[in-house]
Structure 1
Amino acid sequence: MTPSVAHDHSPLLTVRGLARTIGLRKLFAIDRLVIPRATAIVLTGMNGAGKTTLLRMLAGLEPAPGASAQWTDAHGQAHDAPLSPLPPALRQRIAYLHQHPYLFRTSVRENIAYGLHARGMPRDEIARRVGEALGWAGVSHLQDTAPEYLSGGEIQRVALARAKVLEPELLLLDEPTSSLDGHAREQVIGLVGDLAAEGRTVVMICHDRELINLPGVVRWKLGDGVLDTHHP
């Protein structure tokens, strides 16, 4: 699916009733969360505030009982459905990248192709997309390499390519540079900037000042059970 165009000002996704309680503690309660199109968003907050839980709920990786999602499809048709389980139409539009990505015990090329095979895409289209993603992430020379021989930065770039190749409209990234330093960190920051510049919506948990200060980045802050989407 191609990225949403920047001049479409309708929300990419609206989620209502998003809440999580752990024991007697209310982690967060968000009545209405509007995720805009073509926007790079940094989600900050103290450790334990629930940032990862929030992203995983949006990605359908954790249950979100009582929450609902509203969105408009490529044909302009409005949809309203429970967020959990994540509707297939949304699953096709969202990609989630774990802080420590897991790669399958096969080649880099097959890792990137995995989601396309799962969607039943023709082999020639898979080959084209994977080739482009390998080049974009700067890992073409590693395409036949097994994950255990990759550095931390290379694993992160392969994981970003595996997400990008699915052409999601919403990318949810959990601390994409947290375990990296030096040149590896700079490479990943560049790729995240590319994704945002393409017109995709990127929501990333992050404390990296360089990512936070990328041009046009919007800052959200989660704390004391409240999500502030107008944080300076």
Structure 2
Amino acid sequence: MAQIDNFIAAKVDMIILNAADSKGIGPAVKRAKEAGIVVLAVDVAAEGADATITSDNTQAGELACKYISDRLNNKGNVVIINGPPVSAVQNRVEGCETEFKKHPDIKILSANQNAKGSREGGLGVMTSLLAANPKIDGVFAINDPTAIGADLAAKQAQRSEFFIVGVDGSPDGEEALKRKNSLFVATPAQDPQVMAAKAVEIGYDILQGKPAPTAPVLIPVTMIDKNNVSSYKGWTVK
């Protein structure tokens, strides 16, 4: 909030933001727009923004959980490690649940525990889930930090009967995929460079008087796993 107010005071023409709370950021976005500033939301929707540019998070959830379903031959016990109440996380979980619901023999043991999108949260939530569930076959974590934390929890509990899929394709996720002893096996990769470039392009168009897109602009994700991570270019400038 304070950052946006500082930008308003500086009389900038455009703000590109990644909201921690899609609705909570609304009043600050309103103030910016009242000051004549174009506001673009990237990665996560922000209430009142002129345009939203995100990864196709529903696709990310679907791809991640299709990977899990396929690997389990559409049968087994799975957990979803949830996250903050923002659009990106909600869409990923919805996409995942849509995929799992196609398979009656897949049982979702838990889907509502918020690990806050962090490694520490993933460690804590997964530790609790391991204590409560003697048999887990697959884990969907809403992002790579959560997945890495869940992997650490498994190691501490000396459990290895399952595998973990995240979302991001982040540098830490890429490194984890390359580790042979990691239970973290796959992640639909986002492309932050493309998202940011698209936001600048759309913001410039709006400043030139062109209409803002009426629907979120969705950037497709790409599935990365242990088999193809060696050829993955990552988040660096391409």
Place the TM-score, normalised by the shorter chain, in its bin.
0.3 to 0.5
* Higher fraction of helix: 2
Q: Which has the higher contact order (CA 8 A, sep 6+)?
A: 1
- How high is the TM-score relative to the length of structure 1? 0.36
* Higher fraction of strand: 1
Larger Rg belongs to? 2
- How high is the TM-score relative to the length of structure 2? 0.35
